[in-house]
Structures are given as structure tokens and as C-alpha cells.
Amino acid sequence: GIRITLLDTLYLSSGFGAQPQGVQVRFSDGSAEAWRERVEALRAALEGSPGACVGVAAHSVRAVPAAALDALRPFVADGTPFHIHLSEQVQENADCLAATGVTPTRLLADHGLLGPMTSAVHATHLTIDDIALLGGAGCFASFCPTTERDLGDGIGPSRQLLAAGARVTLGSDSHAIIDAFEEMRALELDERLATQARGHWSAAELLVAAGEDGQRSLGW
């Protein structure tokens, strides 16, 4: 009775304009067209399955050249769950600005990739305009507090995103800790650290983020 959402992930480069090297080569799809064919084959194989949902993902804007992002637009347009790591690190933002002249969030918006089934994973280092774009599109912001803590990535603006209209969800992204209650606890505690104030998330809101909205972000 366990349900699963399979997110086939597009990966084409190891950085802005950089070809995959070494062990990264095995992640590369070669082209957006080859990736799309695999997604369609997966959809066909699982059609009618009551326990499986097929979504799509892009690793990040640094792993998918801007010209290839358009391959994702039809999936976003038809309501397919779409996940992408977004502004996880300061360097990602700096590299994106240097390569494209815009933030990662603006780049996604310009390619029509922000929608009600888009999940911005991490969403850590956002500008005020980024927050407005994600909130205005009704996106999900998938925070992974224990992983972000483990990697030293930073603390994202969870309450600001919620106030702007985004729906905050919780994930793990790594095997550092696999504990939904720890992720819920960390969301509140990280806000306390960032703001030097207490009482940002109620228990009911945290349960929605970890449960109901998390399920919705996966197509259930």
C-alpha cells in the first residue's frame, strides 16, 4: 500500500557551460530529447498504476543549460509534479547571474517553469523578488533543514515564502537524518536562529508542511 512518486531528473552539465567530468558523466542524459523520451516511456509503463505517480525534475539551473529548460515547460503546463534544487548555495546564485544575468528563480520564471506543481527544493538564498515570484505562482518550497544544516548551506526564508503565497513542504535530500519530526522541529528552530525570536511555526502548520502539502507536491 505504499505509494511512490518517481521524479526522472534532467542532468546535462556539471556547471554553467561545463561538461560532466569523471563520475558525473554517468548522470548525464546527453540531451533534453533523450531525457523526455525516457520520461514518456516511464509514464507509459506505469499508466493505470494506482500506487505510482511519475513526475519530472531538473537537478538545478547549473546542471541544465538555459536553452534546455524549455523541455520542461510542457510538463509544468499540464500539472506534472516538477522539482528542482533552487538557490541552495550563494555560489549558485553568483554563477547564474554571471552566466545569464538573472537569479535562478527569475530564470525559471522566464522559461515558464513556475507553477502550482513546481517545488523549489532548498530555496535558501532568495531575493525579495524571488520570494514574490515563487509565492505569486503558488509554488511549493521544499525545505530540507537537516541537510541544509549538515552541508552548511544556510537558512531559508520559510515564513516569508509562506506569507508570499508559497506552500512550504519538508524533505530530507540526504541520508544524514531520516526523521520527519526532526525536519519539522528544525524548521522552527532554524527560524529562531535566523531571527533571534521564537514562535514562528505552530504544530498544526508543521504537520501540514510535512504531511498534506508534502503529498500534494508529489502529485497525491
**Catalytically annotated residues:** 122, 173
User: Contact, 74 vs 25, CB < 8 A?
Assistant: no
CA distance 123 to 139: 11
CA distance 143 to 54: 21
Residues 13-17: contacts with CB within 8 Å, 24+ apart?
Answer: 13/62, 13/63, 13/64, 13/65, 14/62, 14/63, 15/62, 15/63, 15/95, 16/62, 16/65, 16/95, 16/96, 16/98, 16/99, 16/100, 17/65, 17/99
C-alpha cell at position 90: 550563494
Q: Where is 188: in which H helix or E strand?
A: helix 180-195
Backbone angles phi, psi at 173, to 5 degrees: 65, -10
Coil, strand or helix at 40:
helix
CA distance 148 to 30: 29
Q: Which of 85, 76, 218, 97 is nearest to 156 (CA)?
A: 85
